[in-house]
C-alpha cells in the first residue's frame, strides 16, 4: 500500500512538472511569436478589387462612387489631403488644389478600388477604405503623394500594405519642394 502511495506521488509530481514545463515553453513561444509578428513587414495582398464609376470628388482623399448602381463614399487609404472646409469649418491651405488634382485624375472615369486586408473595411464615418487605380493602372493614392497633393497617413499607427512606398514618395515630394511642400505655399507644412 505504501509503495502504491509513493508511485502515486511520483506520478503527480511528474505530471505537475510536465504541465509547468509546457506552460513555460508556451509562454516563451508566445512572447517570441508576438514580438516577431510586430517586427515582420506587411506582405499581404489586397482582398478585393472592383470597378466603380466616379460620381463626385469631395476633397483630395474622399470620393463618391457607384458600385453596382449603389452610391458609396470612399476614403483613399494611406493618404490625407487638406480639408475643403465643409460644415462651417475653415478650408485648409492647398485643399482646393488637392481636390482639383484628384478631380483631374478621376472625374467621369470608371476606376478600380481595392481593399487592404490589414485595414478595416470602413472608417468611423462609414466610408469604405480603398486604394484607387485608373484604367491605365495609375495608382491614384500614390500619385497624389508623389505630386505633393496629399501626404502619407497611417491611421492609429496600423501599418498598411503600401506604407513604406507612400512614405518614400512623400520624402521625395518634400525634397523636391513640390505641391503642398513648395516653399511658402502652406506655412504649416
Which positions of the chain have pLDDT values less than 70?
1-7, 18, 20-22, 24-47, 189
Long-range contacts of 83-90 (CB under 8 A, 24+ apart): 83/59, 84/58, 84/59
Within a 13 Å sphere around the CA of 173, how many CA atoms are in the beta-carbon half?
23
Interval 36-66: pLDDT, tens: 433 333 333 456 789 999 999 999 999 999 9
What pLDDT is recorded for position 7? 66
Q: Show the CA angle centred on residue 97, arms to residues 65 and 126, nearest 5°.
A: 35
| Set of cell numbers at residue 83 | 480639408
Say what the pLDDT of residue 63 is: 97
Cα–Cα distance measured from residue 113 to residue 176, given in angstroms and rounded to the nearest whole number: 29
pLDDT value for 33: 47
Helix (H, G, I), strand (E, B) or coil at 28: helix
- Residues 29-32: contacts with CB under 8 Å, at least 24 apart: none
Predicted local confidence at residue 24, as pLDDT: 67
Amino acid at each position: 500500500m505504501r509503495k502504491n502511495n509513493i508511485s502515486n506521488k511520483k506520478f503527480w509530481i511528474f505530471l505537475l512538472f510536465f504541465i509547468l514545463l509546457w506552460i513555460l515553453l508556451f509562454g516563451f513561444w508566445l512572447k517570441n511569436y508576438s514580438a516577431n509578428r510586430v517586427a515582420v513587414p506587411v506582405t499581404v495582398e489586397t482582398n478585393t478589387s472592383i470597378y466603380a464609376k466616379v460620381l463626385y470628388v469631395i476633397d483630395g482623399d474622399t470620393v463618391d462612387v457607384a458600385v453596382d448602381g449603389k452610391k458609396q463614399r470612399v476614403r483613399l487609404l494611406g493618404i490625407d489631403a487638406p480639408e475643403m472646409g465643409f460644415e462651417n469649418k475653415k478650408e485648409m491651405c492647398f485643399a482646393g488644389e488637392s481636390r482639383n488634382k484628384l478631380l483631374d485624375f478621376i472625374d467621369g472615369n470608371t476606376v478600380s478600388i481595392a481593399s487592404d486586408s490589414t485595414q478595416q473595411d470602413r472608417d468611423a464615418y462609414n466610408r469604405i477604405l480603398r486604394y484607387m487605380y485608373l484604367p491605365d493602372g495609375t495608382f491614384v493614392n500614390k500619385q497624389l503623394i508623389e505630386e505633393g497633393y496629399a501626404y502619407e497617413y497611417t491611421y492609429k499607427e496600423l501599418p498598411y500594405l503600401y506604407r513604406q512606398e507612400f512614405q518614400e514618395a512623400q520624402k521625395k515630394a518634400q525634397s523636391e519642394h513640390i505641391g503642398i511642400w513648395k516653399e511658402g505655399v502652406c506655412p504649416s507644412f
